[in-house]
Amino acid sequence: MQLIPPGARRNKHWTARGSVEGRLVERSLGPDVRTKADAQRAARALELRLQGAPRPGAPLTFDQACELFAAFKQQSPQNLAWLNRLRRILGPKRVDAIRQVDLVEAARALYGPAAHPATMNRAVIQRGAAVLHYAAENGYCPYLRLKGFHEAPATTRALAPELAATLIRRAAGAQRLFLIWSFGQGTRVSDTLRLRWEMLDLGAGTATFTVAKTGRERTFALHPDVTDALRAAGPGAGAGYVFPWRDRTGVYHWLRPYCAALGIRFTPHMARHTLGTALNASGAGLRTIMEALGHDSVRSSMRYQSANVDVVRGALSRAIPKLGG
C-alpha cells in the first residue's frame, strides 16, 4: 500500500492508499501514527483486517459494504451515526438487490413522512449512495443512479446589522463574548461551546479545532474584534473552555429571555447566516465564504451567493471602475 505523509494532500495524518484483494482502500491511520515505520505497521494491520472480506463479484450485504466503505474512507461522527441508522434497515439486504425505492422507504421509516427532504437526503440518500457507489466501483453490484428528495431552494435567516449590534451592545461578560464570537466567526453553537483556550492563537489571530459536522480539523482566521474581546476576557481560572455553558440548554436559558426583553427574534445559528450574508455583500468570493464558515460543500456556501442588485452593482463597479473617457 502507498503511504502518504501528513500534509502531502492536505491530510493531517499518515494515510494508507492502495488495493486489497481488488478493492480500493484509502484510510487515515490516525494521530498516534507519527513515523513512517509506525505507518508501515498500521497499514499492514489494516490490510490484514480487510483480507477476509468477500472478493469482488461475490454476494455482499449492505452491512458488509458499510464495513468496507468505512475502512476505505474515514467517516465523520455525524456521517457514521447516519450510516449506522440506515444499516438497521438495509443491513441484511444484498447490495445488488437494493433499488431507489428501498432508500426512500428507509428514509420514511427512519424519519417519518413529515421529515424535511434535506434531512432525508443527507442522512439516507447521500449516505446510501456513497456506500453503493463504492460497492459498484469494486465489482459487488451495478452502478445505481439515485435521486434525492426534492428540496426547496435554501434560504438564509440573517439578522439585520443594527439588531446584531443591539444584541452585542446590551450584553455583558461571557454573554457578550459569546455574541461577539457568534457574529464574528459564525461557528455552529456545538463547535462554539467546545472551544478551549489552547485552541486559540491570539498572536496569529487564529483558532484551530475539529468541526463536529465534518470531522475535519480546520484553522480559522479570527475577526480583529473577536481577538480583542478574547484578549480582554483572558483564560478563566483553571478552566479550559472559553465559554461556561456545556450545552445549548445553558445558552438558551439566558438567551431567550434576553432576546425577548429586547424584542429581537434570534437564535445562535442566525449569527452564522448573518456572517455569510455579510461576507457576500462585501464582495467575498465563494471560496472565502467556504473557508470562513468551515464548509466542505460548495452547495452550503451557495445560499449566500445571492443575486442582490446592490451586490451585483458593487461587483461590476469594482471589476471595471470606469467606462469611457
Among the listed residues 110, 103, 143, 144, the one whose alpha carbon sits nearest the alpha carbon of residue 125: 103
CB 105 within 8 A of CB 40: no
Q: Which residue ranges of the chain lie beneath pLDDT 70?
A: 21, 45, 48-49, 52-53, 153-156, 236-239, 296-325
Q: Is the pTM above the cut of 0.75?
A: no
127 and 221 housed in the same domain: no
User: Which residue matches cell numbers 445559528?
Assistant: 269
User: Which residue matches cell numbers 428540496?
Assistant: 151
309 and 219 housed in the same domain: yes
Cα gap 204→12, rounded to integer Å: 20
CB-facing half-sphere around the CA of 12: CA atoms within 13 A:
12
135 and 210 housed in the same domain: no
322 domain-assigned: no
In terms of residues, how long is the chain? Answer: 325
202 and 95 housed in the same domain: no
Cα gap 37→7, rounded to integer Å: 17
292 and 175 housed in the same domain: yes
User: How many domains is the chain partitioned into structurally?
Assistant: 3
175 and 298 housed in the same domain: yes
pLDDT digits (tens, 9 = 90+) for 130-169: 999 989 988 899 999 999 998 876 566 789 999 999 999 9
pLDDT digits (tens, 9 = 90+) for 286-321: 778 788 887 766 565 555 555 555 665 666 666 666
pLDDT at position 302 is 56
pLDDT at position 14 is 85
165 and 148 housed in the same domain: no
How far lies 231's CA from each of 78, 171, 246, in Å?
33, 18, 22
pLDDT at position 5 is 87
Contacts of residue 125, defined as CB under 8 A and 6 or more positions apart, other chains included, come to 103, 107, 146, 147, 148, 149
67 and 107 housed in the same domain: yes
Whichever domain contains 297, its CATH number is: 1.10.443.10
Among the listed residues 242, 311, 259, 306, the one whose alpha carbon sits nearest the alpha carbon of residue 282: 311
209 and 277 housed in the same domain: yes
**Which residue range forms the structural domain that includes residue 138?**
62-152
148 and 188 housed in the same domain: no
User: Which residue matches cell numbers 472559553?
Assistant: 242
DSSP 55: P
281 and 176 housed in the same domain: yes
CB 97 within 8 A of CB 134: no
125 and 36 housed in the same domain: no
Cα gap 221→41, rounded to integer Å: 37
